[in-house]
């Protein structure tokens, strides 16, 4: 038993770190995480690459500047360099996690899997979906029973559930959600695919 509360934090941090490195490996290998043979994948990273490239550029410039400023302090320079490299790995790793962990619709298994990098991974049985629609939102106020998986502060698909599902946060917090908003590069294609997959499932 892994324990509860604060005692689980080290375990969860290590798990997050391992998933980050696994995402980098999958990205370089051009593989997708959790894509079933009978499933269809829907990405949500279009337009994110430019922002990530900008962050990487800023990290590199900052690292060079600190190297110049600390050239007379080898120990401090080494410490800062390690931190800069680690920050760069995190930035690239989070983008990689978004690329290799797309939304997955597995009609064979009857599930819709909505994700956002390493931060969210929610499996929704198709028979619990009451409706799915395109809905562009750029603002998201916290609300009970609502899970927002925004990308660059926007969502483009809204899924309303007939019965709630349990979402577990990266740090183990559990809560029931009845509405899920996510982003997709092609929201129309995702909505159409979910509607077609639901035809074989009865919603109570």
**In sequence order, what DSSP letters do the residues of 10-79 get, joined into one string?**
HHHHHHHHHHHHHHHHHHHTT--TT--TTEEEE---TTHHHHHHHHHHHHHHHHHHHHHHTTT-HHHHHH
Radius of gyration of the chain (CA): 20
Q: Where is 137: in which H helix or E strand?
A: strand 129-137
Span 7-54, pLDDT tens digits: 666 777 788 888 999 999 999 998 998 887 678 999 999 877 777 778
Span 69-91, pLDDT tens digits: 888 888 888 888 888 888 888 88
pLDDT for 204: 46
In 3D space, the residue among 112, 135, 130 whose CA is nearest the CA of residue 197 turns out to be 112
Span 118-151, pLDDT tens digits: 999 999 999 999 999 999 999 888 899 999 999 9
- CA count, 13 A, side-chain hemisphere, 166: 4
């Amino acid at each position: 038993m892994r324990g509860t509360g604060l005692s689980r934090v080290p375990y969860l941090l290590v798990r997050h770190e391992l998933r980050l490195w696994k995402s980098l490996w999958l990205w370089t290998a051009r593989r997708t995480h959790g894509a079933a043979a009978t499933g269809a994948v829907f990405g949500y990273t279009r337009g994110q690459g430019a922002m990530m490239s900008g962050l990487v550029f800023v990290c590199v410039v900052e690292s060079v500047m600190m190297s110049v400023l600390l050239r007379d302090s080898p120990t401090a320079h080494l410490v800062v360099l390690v931190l800069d490299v680690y920050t760069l790995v995190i930035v690239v790793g989070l983008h990689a996690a978004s690329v290799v962990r797309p939304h997955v619709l597995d009609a064979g298994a009857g599930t819709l899997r909505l994700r956002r990098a390493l931060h969210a991974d929610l499996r929704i049985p198709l028979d619990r979906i009451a409706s799915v629609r395109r809905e562009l939102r750029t603002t998201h106020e916290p609300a009970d029973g609502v899970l927002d998986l925004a990308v660059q502060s926007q969502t483009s698909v809204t899924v309303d559930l007939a019965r709630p599902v349990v979402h577990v946060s990266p740090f183990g917090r559990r809560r029931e959600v009845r509405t899920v908003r996510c982003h997709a590069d092609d929201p129309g294609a995702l909505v159409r695919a979910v509607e077609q997959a639901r035809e074989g499932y009865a919603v109570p």
